[in-house]
């Protein structure tokens, strides 16, 4: 057996959902640049689940299904109120809530494809409500019910703040959702597929994926970027802060990628939105700091920014709490997770790799009384 650390370069499955070839990301053959500039997130959900863009009638049907399933069971809201709010990270709350949702779904353990699709719709629809409800409850505010007349992106921002968002905010958030929707066989997607390959249920698969996304080397990187920007504080401090990090060989969050060699194609879209939003809000500092950090890190280490780097300043410009950045990643990526889960079910084989043993050779059991001290 040949060992590959982190399974780097190992092809573990086949999939028709998304691809990364020569640093180009596509969803079902559509270039991410094309989708980021033109598609609604709802269209992307449909594309990932059905492998084609929807007709107007198909899109309207999906929009209605999402709207009809967007409210949370009251038990989930009451459960949030029992949490030790000052100690619970929103990703922990999201992970627990998704698991709990399965207890209130009568179809949770049904494995028929139609039932699994209905569960996918319910999960996708409820993710924004979970994140926004917890975000408000921990501040002593009541959750805001979703509106059926708003888009997926607009509804999230509305449920978070209670105010109908400006078009530029909706555009930025929709673009972020599109860019994060799927990314081939990343850590959380692989986790979801491993989980449901045992024929476990959809809720278990999504709960497992959220657990993987929670780590700072995966989805948590965008929150870590914001923490870094906050620590730096101003443009004047960027040079000394980053160069000190580089001298100590410390990781600069938001740079480099296991798969992309010439740069993450998603990053440029969020960089443009960051510039637009920070100038609009009259607080361009984080964008200016980010561009200066990029100049140093890319120039010194030849590491271009990834999707996490500029998403941090975009979300901050939208007035979103910093520890909600990774849950927002999940609100988008659940569309991809669900696509992969449904694909895994359709052509399932238990995922069971091997490990190279590096422990001692054959040993003989010795009774405890005869073992030395």
The DSSP annotation for 46-114 comes to HHHHHSSPPPHHHHHHHHHHHHHT-SPPHHHHHHHTTS-GGG--HHHHHHHHHHHHGGG-TTTT--SHH
Residues 33, 53: contact at Cβ < 8 Å?
no
Hey, is 305 helix, strand or coil?
strand
For residue 9, the 8-state DSSP code is T
Question: Among this protein's residues, is 218 annotated catalytic?
Answer: no
Catalytic-role residue among 201, 264, 308, 316: 308
Cα–Cα dist 147/227, whole Å: 33
Helix H, strand E, coil C: the string for 236-297 is: HHHHHHHHHHHHCCCCCCCECCCCCCCCCCCHHHHHHHHHHHHHHCCCCHHHHHHHHHHHHH
Catalytic-role residue among 257, 264, 269, 316: 257
Cα–Cα dist 118/224, whole Å: 35
Of 54, 320, 341, 36, nearest in space to 188 by CA: 341
Question: Among this protein's residues, is 269 annotated catalytic?
Answer: no
Could you list the active site residues? 257, 308
């Amino acid at each position: 057996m040949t060992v590959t650390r982190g399974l780097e370069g190992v092809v573990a499955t086949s999939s028709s959902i998304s691809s990364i070839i020569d640093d180009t990301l596509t969803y079902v053959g559509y270039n991410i640049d094309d989708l980021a500039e033109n598609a609604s997130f709802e269209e992307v959900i449909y594309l990932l689940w059905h492998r084609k863009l929807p007709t107007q009638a198909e899109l309207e049907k999906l929009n209605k299904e999402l709207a009809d399933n967007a409210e949370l069971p009251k038990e989930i809201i009451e459960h949030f109120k029992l949490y030790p709010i000052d100690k619970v990270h929103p990703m922990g709350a999201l992970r627990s809530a998704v698991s709990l949702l399965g207890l209130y779904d009568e179809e949770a353990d049904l494995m028929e494809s139609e039932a699994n699709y209905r569960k996918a719709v319910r999960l996708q629809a409820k993710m924004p409500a979970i994140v926004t409800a917890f975000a408000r409850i921990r501040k002593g505010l009541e959750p805001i019910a979703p509106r059926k007349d708003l888009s997926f992106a607009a509804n999230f921002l509305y449920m978070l703040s209670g105010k109908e968002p400006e078009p530029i905010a909706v555009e930025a958030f929709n673009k972020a959702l599109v860019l994060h929707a799927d990314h081939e066989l990343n850590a959380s997607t692989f986790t979801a597929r491993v989980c449901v390959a045992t024929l476990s249920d959809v809720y278990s698969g999504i709960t497992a994926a959220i657990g993987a996304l929670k780590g700072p080397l995966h989805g948590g990187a965008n929150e870590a970027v914001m923490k870094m920007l906050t620590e730096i504080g101003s443009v004047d401090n960027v040079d000394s802060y980053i160069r000190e990090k580089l001298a100590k060989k410390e990781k600069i969050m938001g740079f480099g990628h296991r798969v992309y060699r010439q740069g993450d194609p998603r990053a440029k879209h969020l960089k443009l939105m960051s510039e637009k939003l920070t100038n609009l809000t009259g607080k361009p500092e984080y964008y200016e700091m980010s561009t200066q950090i990029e100049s140093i890190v890319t120039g010194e280490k030849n590491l271009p920014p990834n999707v996490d780097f500029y998403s941090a300043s975009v979300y901050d410009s939208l007035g979103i709490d910093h520890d909600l950045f990774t849950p927002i990643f999940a609100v988008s990526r659940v569309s991809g997770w669900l696509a992969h889960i449904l694909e895994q079910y359709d052509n399932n084989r238990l995922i069971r790799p091997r490990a190279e043993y590096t422990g001692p050779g054959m040993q003989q059991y010795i009774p405890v009384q005869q073992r030395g001290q």
